[in-house]
Structure 1
Amino acid sequence: MIGATILGLVVTGCELAGVWLFGRITDDVLTTGILSALILPAAFWLGAAVLGGAAQFAATWLSASAAERFVARLRDHAFGHVVTLSPGTVDRMEHGDLVARLTDDVEEVEEIVGSGPVRAVSSVLGIVVFGAAALILRWELALLTFAAAPMLWFAARRFSRRISAVADEERRVNGRVTAVVEESVSAVALVQAYNRADLVTGRVAAAGARWARIRVAQARLSGAYGPLVSVVETLCVLTIVGVGAWEIGTGRLTLGGLLTFAGFVSYLYPPVQSLGHLALGLAAARAAGERVAELLDTAPSVTDRPARAHPAVVRGDLELRGVGYRYPDAVRPALRSVTLRVPAGRTVAVVGASGAGKSTLTKLLLRYADPASGQLLLDGVDLRDLPLEALRANVTLLPQETTILHGTVRENIAFGRAGATDAEIVAAATAADADVFVRSLPDGYDTVLGDRGRFLSGGQRQRIAIARALVRDAPVLVLDEPTTGLDGEAVRRLLGPLRRLMAGRTTVLITHDLRLATEADHVVELADGKICSRPIVPESA
């Protein structure tokens, strides 16, 4: 940005030289008719044009490079912050609006700290240089010309305030349009099954129409500013021509001097107009900046404490001591004084009706949230005293909603652990009973799975997820309703892979399925956030 600004000063100097040389040519060549006097100023003018063009190219390239690097870094920073937020916090956001903040709004913010400052400095330099040159040439005429500056400044302020208000609404509605489109596309199967294409199309059309009205209002305001400035500039030029013609008649100014002065003024007003447009652009960018800042100000619900423990080896002994938790704005607690111990390598099945608090337990075990009361311990260490990365490296979650990423089978399984080898991926797929059907796919392990794995059956998706959990090879396993949505045959085929996954691991199995519950060493029932039946685990276990 500094380099672009310096090069902008070089461009201004070359333009100044070109205007001055044109005036000299007018007086020394065009007025006198002496053609030989053209050679030297023409050569200097051409040199200034070449140097200015090269500097303009380099300044544009440097400015664009800096601006795009800034946008990329800001987007990376904002997205990096989003992935530190708990899943519950992200789920409460409209995902389409979140995407709009990470894309369109970040792009708009560049105007404030990227190209905007470079343009502002370059414009100010242009105003100073050409204004000073005009003052030196004819200070009386220059002061008369400068009288238009307050009018342009006043117009820019008035327009920027109105555009700022419209921009706030435009950014918000833009996010809403993206959210409606994203939601409608993701639910296209439901839309078709219920014959509600007219409903979702109407929602998208209504949101788009509102956005269009706001965009037209923005264009109307921006469009009015340009002609207003042009009228003011025209009045100034006519004033210069009239006064200049009078001064030529009195012999106080030559034709070349008048043309030189007019050239200085012609280069003076574009920077003034650029500053005005920049003010309007900054008003719109401020609205986007506030939306990005609001996202960055959203604090993670859990953070690392100064770690007092970071065990090199985790046995997997889990214990809950009087754990309680209440969701924000909830009337009743989701968990109340839950006490439970799961010895290393053992499996406990947690059963109960919907809303009993089973899934809340998984959130606490992964530290998506911290308990309001009580403690969760891993090998006797409070989870809050473990670094989040260390905790989650030792706990594998198989969530209720099977997540398949858009990518190859190999990439989906390898997502479980960075650096997983091909042999480990195939071994995990084999243990998950997925190797046979994977090899039958068009490109085997290199087959690209569609968005959310839509090309696979429910059982196949779950076996890919189990392979991903197997390749992770963590000592603690949390299974959240692993058979949800599967038919009896799919569940039967899944039992073997699940047994191999649970073998030797401390497992918390959340389930409604009694066939899975029988695989556990102990069964615990949750009701209304409390354990209503708890097996006694011998200390020797």
Structure 2
Amino acid sequence: MVSIRQTVRRFWPYTRGLRKLIVLGVVLAAVAAGCEVAAIALFGTITDEVLTRGDLNAFWGPATGWLALAVAGAVVSFFGTYATVLGGERFLYRLRDRLFRHMQSLTPDYFDNRRLGDQMARLTTDIEAIEELLASGVVRLFTTAVSVVFFAGAALVLRWDLALVTLALVPAFLGVSKLFAGRFRVAAARERRANGEMNSVIEESLANQSLVQAYNRQESEAARLNRQGRRWMLANLAQARLSALYGPLVQVIETLCVLVVIGVGAWEIAAGRLTIGGLLAFAAYLAYLYPAVQSLGELALTVSEAAAGSDRVMEVLRTSPDVDDPGAPVEAEPHTEPITAVPPAPATSPVKGRGEITFENVGFTYPNRKRATLSGLSFAAGPGDIILCTGPSGAGKSTVAKLLLRFYDATTGRITLDGRDIRELPSREVRDNITILQQENLLFSGTVRDNIAFGRPGCELDEIVQAAILADVHDFIGTLPQKYDTPIGERGRLLSGGQRQRIAIARAILRDAPVLILDEPMTGLDAATAARIMEPLGRLMAGRTTIFITHDPRLVPGAAREVVLPPGVDEEAVVPVPK
């Protein structure tokens, strides 16, 4: 588990630009504490000069001052609290963006091997724990320390000897906090893991509710959530036990301190060395001092919780992308003519090439695996060519797509795009020249318009309509209640498989990239629907370099050249170049 020093060193830079708000929160909190110190002094004056002597005329001056201090303290406290919250929320906003952007730079396989709910917990509760330490936690630390100094100083000024007696018990608060901090850190880490796992169970079950109901698995899914929820409950209870024990233990220590003060104060009053007003004021200072000292101790618990969250966030940030962009990318030669009838993209869109690709003796082994997935793969294709990539499951067909998209870089050999090694190009430029249609038609929960426009952000409605016409989906969209503005449900679940596929084709047509990857595009479709899909797919493939990955080559155009990947290749296996 990471140390607090590592947490501060790693995440403190994210407070840059927010530190003025943090300092402002500290200063205003200190001013508010000063107002409270002065108000307590006036309370002692009122007790001795008004209540003890019964002099009502002496009441108005101190009372007016007390009210003014209360109003000033309230105003200052409001702005100090708001500054602290503003800085904390901006810190959260910044760190969440940074973490999410880093997650987006990781290969899709990273998420395939991890539970989505757990990753979501890292983006929410874990970074909130870090904020509690580095933003609002810093303000709380300094303001609490200032409060301790102010109230302890006021007590020393009022009766230094009595103050020393009570301050001698302060280490007891800090000792108890230190005793609990380590245990709380372990409990917090366990709670974080259990929370992420429970979120994953909920996300998986709700996302696959149709399958759950179709297989009558409602009770088993409820039992699965029950088991995971129980683990989270037990982790929370472990934290609750520590908190429940910590609070009363500190209260006992605080009560002991107050009794000592009252006992010594009564003795001083009896000896004529202390007034009742002085004792009450002193007790009031202690009433503010001890909670502040207790709050300092509780910061140790906050630190423990932040350490648990920091460990999980840093685990993600330590994961490096599988590909690195070059420092000085090779300039692309522009290819300005649009491939389809869709109007060209705006001038601000990325420059696209011709789409000539070659695989030159390409081999690849996945990280943490000993056996090669591809070895010696070679072929070349240009605009209008269709490469049919076939082979049994596990032969590496989808790996070809991953390498071309630079989700990974080839272990041996090289892949070129328009004559340039794609490792010498930014991954963003490589992907701007490639469109992929996957087995699962990945749609968002927005409208039809949103999902088609995902292929080219900022496009006009007439461009979307033209792409839909070419994808043979415009007539269907016309039957929807709100036409192109009709919501399609989570992941497009309100549409049939064929409808989702044609919307994905429209999105690909609108993207207008020179290289097209079709990764099992007919999966899950009946023969009639697959045959109908081939017509808009044919329009999409026209003029493009197409890699068609499939188990079933029956619907592929006869002009396709076939590359067969053998089952279970090894380091020495070579796939012949197709002629």
Q: What TM-score does the superposition give when structure 2 sets the normalisation length?
A: 0.90
Q: Which residue of 2 aligns with 1:454?
A: 493
Tell me, yes or no, if the aligned pair for 1:479 and 1:508 is still in contact at 8 Å: yes
Q: Which residue of 2 aligns with 1:518?
A: 557
What is the CA distance between 1:407 and its match in structure 2? 0.3
Q: Which residue of 2 aligns with 1:535?
A: 578
What is the CA distance between 1:388 and its match in structure 2? 1.1
Tell me, yes or no, if the aligned pair for 1:319 and 1:341 is still in contact at 8 Å: yes
What is the CA distance between 1:237 and its match in structure 2? 1.3
Q: Which residue of 2 aligns with 1:76?
A: 97
What is the CA distance between 1:520 and its match in structure 2? 3.9
Equivalent position amino acid for 2:524 in 1: G
In structure 2, how many angstroms separate the alpha carbons of the residues matched to 1:253 and 1:29? 17
Equivalent position amino acid for 1:535 in 2: P
Q: Which residue of 2 aligns with 1:130?
A: 151
In structure 2, how many angstroms separate the alpha carbons of the residues matched to 1:120 and 1:361? 54
Q: How does 1:264-283 map to 2 (within 5 A)?
A: 264-283=285-304
Counterpart selection for 2:477 from 431, 434, 438:
438
In structure 2, how many angstroms separate the alpha carbons of the residues matched to 1:176 and 1:250? 65
In structure 2, how many angstroms separate the alpha carbons of the residues matched to 1:49 and 1:394? 66
> Once superposed, what is the RMSD of the aligned Cα atoms?
1.4
In structure 1, how many angstroms separate the alpha carbons of the residues matched to 2:270 and 2:187? 51
In structure 2, how many angstroms separate the alpha carbons of the residues matched to 1:350 and 1:242? 90
In structure 2, how many angstroms separate the alpha carbons of the residues matched to 1:467 and 1:390? 22
Whether 1:57 aligns to 2:78 is yes
Whether 1:260 aligns to 2:299 is no
Equivalent position amino acid for 2:113 in 1: R
Tell me, yes or no, if the aligned pair for 1:120 and 1:275 is still in contact at 8 Å: yes
Q: How does 1:254-403 map to 2 (within 5 A)?
A: 254-313=275-334, 314-403=353-442
Whether 1:247 aligns to 2:268 is yes
In structure 2, how many angstroms separate the alpha carbons of the residues matched to 1:516 and 1:420? 32
Q: Which residue of 2 aligns with 1:503?
A: 542
In structure 2, how many angstroms separate the alpha carbons of the residues matched to 1:531 and 1:193? 45
Cα 1:359/1:59, change in 2 over 3 Å: same
Counterpart selection for 1:22 from 24, 43, 48:
43
Q: Which residue of 2 aligns with 1:481?
A: 520
In structure 2, how many angstroms separate the alpha carbons of the residues matched to 1:211 and 1:250? 59
1:302 is paired with a residue whose SS is coil
Cα 1:361/1:108, change in 2 over 3 Å: same
In structure 2, how many angstroms separate the alpha carbons of the residues matched to 1:240 and 1:189? 68
Question: After TM superposition, what 4+ stretches of structure 1 lie above 4 angstroms from structure 2?
Answer: 529-534
In structure 2, how many angstroms separate the alpha carbons of the residues matched to 1:312 and 1:131? 73
1:413 is paired with a residue whose SS is helix
Cα 1:200/1:52, change in 2 over 3 Å: same
In structure 2, how many angstroms separate the alpha carbons of the residues matched to 1:482 and 1:310? 33
Whether 1:226 aligns to 2:247 is yes
1:417 is paired with a residue whose SS is coil
Whether 1:115 aligns to 2:136 is yes
2:232 is paired with a residue whose SS is helix
| Deviations, residues 359-398 of structure 1 (Å, cap 9, x unaligned) | 1100000001111100000111000101111111111111
Q: Which residue of 1 aligns with 2:64?
A: 43
Cα 1:278/1:520, change in 2 over 3 Å: farther
In structure 1, how many angstroms separate the alpha carbons of the residues matched to 2:85 and 2:559? 60
What is the CA distance between 1:512 and its match in structure 2? 2.4
Tell me, yes or no, if the aligned pair for 2:379 and 2:578 is still in contact at 8 Å: no
Whether 1:492 aligns to 2:527 is no
Whether 1:147 aligns to 2:186 is no
Matched residue count: 536
Tell me, yes or no, if the aligned pair for 1:396 and 1:474 is still in contact at 8 Å: yes
2:392 is paired with a residue whose SS is coil
Equivalent position amino acid for 2:237 in 1: V
In structure 2, how many angstroms separate the alpha carbons of the residues matched to 1:371 and 1:132? 68
| Deviations, residues 202-242 of structure 1 (Å, cap 9, x unaligned) | 11101111111111111111111111111111111111111
What is the CA distance between 1:515 and its match in structure 2? 3.1
Q: What TM-score does the superposition give when structure 1 sets the normalisation length?
A: 0.97
In structure 2, how many angstroms separate the alpha carbons of the residues matched to 1:252 and 1:152? 30
2:546 is paired with a residue whose SS is strand
Q: Which ranges of structure 1 fall in alignment gaps of 5 or more residues? A: 537-541
Greater mean alpha carbon deviation, residues 51-60 or residues 101-110: 101-110
1:83 is paired with a residue whose SS is helix
Q: Which ranges of structure 2 fall in alignment gaps of 5 or more residues? A: 1-21, 335-352
Greater mean alpha carbon deviation, residues 485-494 or residues 249-258: 249-258
In structure 1, how many angstroms separate the alpha carbons of the residues matched to 2:260 and 2:212? 66
What is the CA distance between 1:331 and its match in structure 2? 4.2
What is the CA distance between 1:71 and its match in structure 2? 1.1
In structure 1, how many angstroms separate the alpha carbons of the residues matched to 2:560 and 2:114? 39
Equivalent position amino acid for 2:434 in 1: V
Greater mean alpha carbon deviation, residues 193-202 or residues 128-137: 193-202
Q: Which residue of 2 aligns with 1:3?
A: 24
Tell me, yes or no, if the aligned pair for 1:310 and 1:387 is still in contact at 8 Å: no
Greater mean alpha carbon deviation, residues 186-195 or residues 331-340: 186-195
Greater mean alpha carbon deviation, residues 427-436 or residues 98-107: 98-107
In structure 2, how many angstroms separate the alpha carbons of the residues matched to 1:416 and 1:380? 26
2:394 is paired with a residue whose SS is coil
In structure 2, how many angstroms separate the alpha carbons of the residues matched to 1:140 and 1:200? 66
Tell me, yes or no, if the aligned pair for 1:434 and 1:460 is still in contact at 8 Å: yes
